[in-house]
Structure 1
Amino acid sequence: MTTTTHGGPDALGVPRWDFSTNANASGPCPSALAAVQRADARPYPDPSYTALRESLAAFHAVDAARIVLAGSASEFIGRFTAWVARNGGKQVWLPVLAYGDYAQAAQAWQFERVRDPARAHLAWLCEPSSPLGEVEPFARSVVASGAQVVLDRAYEPLRLSGRCGLEAAALRQVWQLWTPNKAMGLTGVRGAYAIAPERAVAQARALDQLAPSWPLGAHAVALLDAWVSPTAQDWLAQSLERLREWRASQRQLLTELDWTVLPGDANYFCAAPPRPLDAPALRAAGIKLRDTTSFGLPGHWRLGVLPPEAQAALGTALRRAEVFE
C-alpha cells in the first residue's frame, strides 16, 4: 500500500490542536457550511455542471469554456500529468521544495525530473508556495519555458502579505488550479477547479474527457457555489485580519522558545526547533505539526496559524522537556 504524507487526522483521530493543515482557522465560513448542509444529495448533479462553470467563470472574469472541474487538487494533478504524458511529455520541472503529489504523479508516469525548465514538458508552480508560503523565484522563467505550466493557487485566498510573483499577462498563459475548501475552512469537502490558459479551450475539453463521470458530488458543488458568493468573500476578507494577528503572535511564541522561524506570506510558516522534536509525544499531548521532510526540508516543521488558545497549548507542550528527543 502506498503511504501518502499529509497533515490532518491520523490513526489517533482528529488532533485537538491541529497545526499540521493549512485550513482557515477562522472557519468554517458560515455561509459555505450552511450551503453544504443544505445540499440535496439525492439526485445526481448536472453531469455538465453548467451553472457551476458559469458562476466560477463569472467570478474570475473568464470564459466558462476555460473552467475544468476536478474532484480535488490531487485528482487534477494526477489527471493533468497523465494528459501531458499521453501527449508525449517525458520531462518535468518541480520547485526545489514542493507538495509531494507533483513528484508522485510524475513518477507514476515515469517523467524525468529536470533542473532546466526549458527542457521540461510539464512544470508545477505554487504561490504562496508550500511549505514556505513564499513567491516562487523561478516563476517567470518557468512560464517562458514553453512547458505546460500549472500554477497551484490553493493558498492564494489565504495570502496574508505580499503578492503573486506573476503579472496578469503571465497568469493568462498558465493553468491556474484553485482549491477553495482551505479558504472556507472545510477541507473535508473535496472539490477543485482549474482555469485553462486563454488559448487552451481545446485542451480544457480534452482534460474534461479524461475525468470520470460526476467528478464533483452535491456537497462539492454547494461549496464551490458558495465560495464565489459576496457573502463568503466578505467573510474571507474579515478572517484574514484575524489570521494576521494570530500569525504574528504564533511566530513570536516560537521565536521566544528559540525556534528558527522562516519568513512567509501565507497562513502558515516553517520553523526549526532548537533540538529534534518527539512527534509522538507531542501528538499524545493533542498537538500535531507537519514534518516538512516530504517537501524536501528536513529538520523543519510547518505550522498552520491557529487561534490564541491553540497557541497557548503549543507553548505549554513545548516547554515540557518530554516533547524533545
Structure 2
Amino acid sequence: MGSLLFVLVLVTCFVGLSAWQVDRAQHKNDAVESADVEEVEPFNEVMEAQAPMPGILADQRVSLSGHWLPDAQVVVPGRVLDGDKGFWVVTMFAPDDARLGASVGADAEDKTIAIPVLRGFTTDEKTAMESRAAEGPVKMTAQIGPVEGPMPGNSLPEGQVRSVSTSQLINLFPDLLTYSGFLIPESATGDAASVATDGLAFVPPTTTRDEGGFDLQSAGYAIEWLIFAGMALYMWWQLLRDDFMRRRLGEGSDSQDPANRVEYVVVKSAGQSSIDPKVMSGLTGLPAHRHGAKKPRRSRGSASKSSTDDNSTNTTPTGGN
C-alpha cells in the first residue's frame, strides 16, 4: 500500500505537469500579444549596447534621437523590395544618452556607441555606394530588427557585406560599440533625417517575430509526461505481480523457516529441451498450460464420455476368480 501511495503521488505530479504544458501550448498567442510591441518605447529603456537582445524585443517600436556617422556605412546586396532586386544602405547611428551593458569594461566608455540603421533601398549599385547621410540632429521612430548571422563576402567590393551582422560591423569599425539588433525606420525628422533620401527608397518595417499559434514543443512535452505516468503505473504493477508469484511459489514449501529451506533439484531427461510442464505444475502449483503445455479443451461430449469411461473403469467384476 505504501508503494501504491507513492506511485499515485508520482502519477498525479506527472499528469499535472502534462496539463501545464498543454496550457502553455494553447496560450502561446497570449504571450505574443502581451509583449505590446506596437507601443512606442524609449530606445534607451529597452536596449543596451554590447548586451544580448531578448527575442521578445523583435519588432518592438522605439523612439530615439541622435546623429548619423556618415563614414560608418555598408551596402548589402541581394535584397528585394516589391519584386526588384537591389541593395540596402545601412548607416551607423549614434543614439543620445546610449547605455552600455553591465558586463562592459571601463575601457569601452571612450568608444562611440552606435546602432545600424537601414536608411533605404536602391536597385542601382552606384547610387548605393555614393549615398551618404547628412550631419546634424535626428529624431526617429523605428522598429527593432534582429541582427543577421555573418556571411562570407570576400568576393564583394570594398564597403559591401552580405548580411547585417554586428560581429562583422565591429570588425569593419573597431572604434564603435554596437547593439545586438538594427533599426528599420518608420519616420525620421530633422535637417539630417536622411531616410529614403539621396536616391534611396523607403523600406517598410516587416514582422519578424513569432506570430503565435499552437506550440508543438510544449505539446510534445505534455505527451512525454503522460508516458512517464504510464511507466510508473506499469512498474508498480510489475513489482506487485513478481511479489505475488514469489509468495505463491512459497506456499508449497514444507517449512517457512529460512533456516530449514527445502530445495528442489529438477533434472531433465536425456534428449529433452525443457522440463515437463506437469513436473513444473507439481512444483509451482500452477496449471500445466502456464508452463507450456496445451490448454485442455472442455465440451459436453467429452465430459459425458469421460464420465462413462470413469464408470466403466471403476466397475468391479462380481464373479470369477
- Does 1 or 2 have the higher relative contact order (CA < 8 Å, sep 6+)? 1
TM class by shorter chain equals under 0.3
Using the size of structure 1 for normalisation, the TM-score is 0.19
Structure (1 or 2) with the larger CA radius of gyration:
2
Using the size of structure 2 for normalisation, the TM-score is 0.19
